[in-house]
Amino acid sequence: MTHVADLQTAVALLPKREYSQFRRWFLERDWQEWDREIEEDSRAGRLDFLLQEAAEAKREGRLRDL
């Protein structure tokens, strides 16, 4: 069995309360990784196109208030 398969089996066997705790921990970890990636992409300029698109939309009057 692979490590992933072992983990899948272990998670499947967790009681409901422990599964909920694991799920919260995993989701938080996943969001932290996502935040790190976004920050890295932003620093590297990989998201600059979004600023350019927003500025263009503003110039053309295509933005609306939320």
Alpha helix locations (H) across the chain?
Answer: 3-12, 16-43, 48-59
As for how many domains the chain has, the answer is 1
The pTM score is: 0.66
10 domain-assigned: no
Cβ–Cβ < 8 Å for 22, 11: yes
29-63 tens-digit pLDDT: 999 999 999 999 999 999 999 999 999 999 999 98
33 domain-assigned: yes
* Residue-number span of the structural domain to which 25 is assigned: 15-59
The conformation of residue 47, written as its DSSP 8-state character, comes to T
- b/e sequence 39-49, b meaning 16+ C-beta within 10 Å: eeeeeeeeeee
Residue 1: the pLDDT is: 63
65 domain-assigned: no
